[in-house]
Amino acid sequence: MNASSDVGHYAQRQARWHYGEAAFWLAVLACGFVFPTRYLIMTDILRLALFAMSLDLILGYAGIVSLGHAAFFGVGAYAAGLLALHGIINEPVLALIAAGLAAMVLGFATSFLVIRGVDLTRLMVTLGIALLLEALAERFSNITGGTDGLQGIEMQPILGEIPFDMFGKAGFFYSLAVLFVLFLLARRIVHSPFGLSLRAIKNNPLRAAAIGIPVNRRLIAIYTLAALYAGIAGALFTQTTAIASLDVFAFDRSADLMLVLVIGGAGYLYGGLIGAVIFRILQEVFSTITPQYWQFWIGLVLVVIVLVGRQRLHRWVLYVPNLVIKQVAGRKAVVAVPESDA
Amino acid sequence: MTSILTNLFDGVAYGMLLFVLACGLAVTLGLMNFVNLAHGAFAMAGGYVCMVLVNRMGWPFFAALPLAFVSAAAIGIVLERTLYRHLYARSHLDQVLFTIGLTFMSVAAVDYIQGSSRVFINLPAALQGQFDVFGVGIGRYRLMIIVICGLLTIGLQMVLARTRFGSRLRAAVDDPRAASGLGINVPQVFAFTFAFGCGLAGLGGALSAEILGLDPYFPLKFMIYFLIVVTVGGSSSITGPFLASLLLGIGDVAGKYYVPKMGPFVIYTMMIVILIWRPNGLFGRTAAR
């Protein structure tokens, strides 16, 4: 067996669906039936998970550190809100796609700024773009509603059939369906040769360029795709909560998002989903202990995670599950967090 | 005409203040290549120490200023020795996460201890009001800031260029391995520089309570300003960040005065354009490590 077929074999084995993954999605679906009183917070988690998956695409796979990912979330949120408010596109699914495309256009336009320069410049440029959009949204308050936000958004039934109910049941299953479809797409992409080339770029851009990968074009492509995902997450936010205000662009949102991804682990797609669940639970716990000061504990979690080391932490977390899996399915089936992130 | 000059004067004062606040970051971020988003937290610490000393304990303002410096520097050195130094060799992502965490903690902690509203420092009567020079309104407080910050800048430049410590620092930054081979205690030099930068930020925080406003969200609100100063100014010398601060200060004051509707829009656009045009800053070296 030569080296290239070996790589192909390995990549294919990685891309195959595992029982664990099916179990994970069944568990998520089951949550929708087991906790009928908690739809609102579960919808919130799904949105956050989608948003985190978007950051995972650029951070975990392409190694772009972004401090302003909320920019795309915000554009998606406002686009969906404006479309619904002015009755341009009434059907939520179509509006979702349109809002995602709006964010995607912005992502494509700004990707040229982001691929220039090193980490630090990227941090500044992404942060600057988010702040710029926030300032713009505040400036054009006649369109965006300023600090009050867009008000009086009425959502039409999904596909013209299923209306949004006040308990959030429709919103939950709608969000779940969107998340799952986009997850399938992302999964397909990261396991394709395109996705493998992204990992090569992340590990060593110079070497990737030397073996013939068009580094800049690949980065532009994935950044644009991530913007689409973030835009759809933002549009979901507006559609399920019926509000869009200036804080969709806030720095805290981008920072929290990083924490979500760091908790879950970057670079294997499930990180954002798991991180979103843990983050929300942490947030709930902290805000019941100290309502006003939960941010302190979130900060502490960040500091501790970095000091302990993300790699080591994930090894600890996966220690018990792996022990169980080893007993049941043998040595090969161990869950591992692939590669180091960034 | 006179309003232009008054604005220019205010802009210079604002810029000078930004320089004192951010020049510590110029060293950690520009020279030591450590992304410290928590820099504003040290400034806030200095500001609140000064506020407590002046308002609650009745200290004179000018006696409280050095203490703002000392306390921020002390916090800086403790954190550097216990936490920061483990992260110098880590990835930028780790540094970003860590310092964002610290910032969140500082915001919530100050909110808890002092409340979330904006605080003011009681100024002595001699610093209040303004006087006219040829029809140009000169604020006394702003004049004092220009004097203090100007002296500090000259002092810093002298220390960096003329003293033994300055040359050690420059050597340690240029090539840490060669410097330690020559017997320079690089970690010590970095720790001292870090603490000094934090101290300056603390002093800046105390001075800025009157102009920028001091509340628990200070580190988040002004983070981007500090970063702009450093990234636009580059890191080759102290002059780059100094000029960048002046530019930013004058630009911001003029922008708020002449096109108030555009808000911070002008500055962010300028920053992005400059970063695209010269990724290493306006006055930066070409080769970043």
User: What angle (nearest 5°) sits at the alpha carbon of residue A78, between those of residues A74 and A80?
Assistant: 115
Report CA A27 to chain centroid distance, whole Å. Answer: 20
Task: Please report the residues numbered 86 through 105 in chain B whose beta carbons come closer than 8 angstroms to any beta carbon of chain A.
Answer: 86-87, 90-94, 96-98, 100-105
Q: What is the DSSP string of A9-40?
A: HHHHHHHSPPHHHHHHHHHHHHHHHH-TT-HH
Q: What would the pLDDT profile of B15-40 be if each residue is shown by its tens digit?
A: 999 999 988 888 788 777 788 899 99
CA pair distance A30, B82, nearest whole angstrom: 46
Cα–Cα distances in angstroms (integers) from residue A33 to residues A27, A154, A274, in the given order: 10, 26, 19
**DSSP state for residue A291 in the 8-state scheme:** T
Is A147 in the B-facing interface, judged by CB distances under 8 Å? no
- Of A67, A121, A131, nearest to B96 by CB-CB distance is A67
Instruction: Answer yes or no: are the C-beta atoms of A295 and B220 closer than 8 Å.
Output: no
Is B235 in the A-facing interface, judged by CB distances under 8 Å? no
Position B286 scores a pLDDT of 46
Query: Which chain B residues are within 8 Å of A113, Cβ to Cβ?
Result: 272, 276
Q: What would the pLDDT profile of A137-195 be if each residue is shown by its tens digit?
A: 888 888 887 777 888 787 888 887 788 887 788 889 999 999 999 999 999 999 999 99
Question: CA of A172, closest CA in chain B: separation in Å?
Answer: 31
Q: Spell out the residues 6+ positions from residue A206 whose beta carbon is closer than 8 angstroms to its own.
A: none
Asked if A293 lies within 8 A of B96 by C-beta distance, the reply is no
Q: What is the DSSP string of chain B?
A: -HHHHHHHHHHHHHHHHHHHHHHHHIIIIIIS----TTHHHHHHHHHHHHHIIIIIT---HHHHHHHHHHHHHHHHHHHHHHTGGGGTTS-HHHHHHHHHHHHHHHHHHHHHHH-SS-B-PPPPGGGSSEEEETTEEEEHHHHHHHHHHHHHHHHHHHHHHHSHHHHHHHHHHH-HHHHHHTT--HHHHHHHHHHHHHHHHHHHHHHHTTTT-B-TTHHHHHHHHHHHHHHHH-SSSSHHHHHHHHHHHHHHHHHHHH-GGGTTHHHHHHHHHHHHH-TT-TT--S---
Q: Which of A65, A119, A120 to mutate to probe the B interface, most B CBs <10 Å?
A: A120
| Other residues' Cβ atoms within 10 Å of the Cβ of residue A17 | 9
CA pair distance B90, B96, nearest whole angstrom: 10
Report CA B42 to chain centroid distance, whole Å. Answer: 9
Is A119 in the B-facing interface, judged by CB distances under 8 Å? yes
Q: Is A115 helix (H, G, I), strand (E, B) or coil?
A: coil
Percent of chain B with pLDDT over 90: 30
Residue with tokens 């969200």: B217
Is B224 in the A-facing interface, judged by CB distances under 8 Å? yes
Average confidence (pLDDT) over B53-71: 91
pTM (two decimals): 0.87
Is A269 in the B-facing interface, judged by CB distances under 8 Å? no
Residue B184 in tokens: 């320079």
Position A314 scores a pLDDT of 73
Percent of chain A with pLDDT over 70: 94
Rounded to 10 deg, the angle between the A39-56 and A215-241 helix axes is 170
Least confident among A187-196, A239-248, B73-82, B192-201: A239-248
Residue B1 pLDDT exceeds 70: no
Position A207 scores a pLDDT of 92
Q: What's the burial of B83, exposed, middle or buried (CB within 10 Å: 0-12/13-18/19+)?
A: middle
- Of B94, B224, B262, nearest to A306 by CB-CB distance is B94
Asked if A295 lies within 8 A of B29 by C-beta distance, the reply is no
Nearest to A74 by CA among A219, A252, A225, A295: A252
Quickly state the pLDDT bin for B115 (edges 50, 70, 90): confident
CA pair distance A161, A158, nearest whole angstrom: 6
Digitized pLDDT (tens) for each residue of chain A, 342 residues in all: 466 667 778 777 777 888 888 888 999 999 888 888 888 899 999 999 999 999 999 998 988 888 889 999 999 999 999 998 888 888 889 999 999 999 999 999 999 888 877 777 788 889 889 988 988 888 888 888 777 788 878 788 888 778 888 778 888 999 999 999 999 999 999 999 999 999 999 888 899 999 999 999 999 999 999 999 999 999 999 998 888 888 889 888 898 899 999 888 888 888 889 999 999 999 888 888 887 888 898 899 889 988 888 777 777 777 777 777 777 766 555 555 544 443
Question: CA of B97, closest CA in chain A: separation in Å?
Answer: 6
Is A31 in the B-facing interface, judged by CB distances under 8 Å? no
Residue B284 pLDDT exceeds 70: no
Position B157 scores a pLDDT of 87
Mean pLDDT of the residues in chain B: 85
Position A317 scores a pLDDT of 72
Nearest to A134 by CA among B221, B102, B56: B221
Average confidence (pLDDT) over B99-117: 91
Asked if A300 lies within 8 A of B105 by C-beta distance, the reply is yes
Is B78 in the A-facing interface, judged by CB distances under 8 Å? no
Residue with tokens 């029982």: A19
Residue B211 in tokens: 């102009």
Q: What would the pLDDT profile of B262-279 be if each residue is shown by its tens digit?
A: 767 777 887 888 877 877
User: What angle (nearest 5°) sits at the alpha carbon of residue A46, between those of residues A166 and A333?
Assistant: 145
One-letter amino acid of B81: R
Q: Is A150 helix (H, G, I), strand (E, B) or coil?
A: strand
Position B59 scores a pLDDT of 86
Instruction: Answer yes or no: are the C-beta atoms of A171 and A177 closer than 8 Å.
Output: no
Question: CA of A14, closest CA in chain B: separation in Å?
Answer: 26
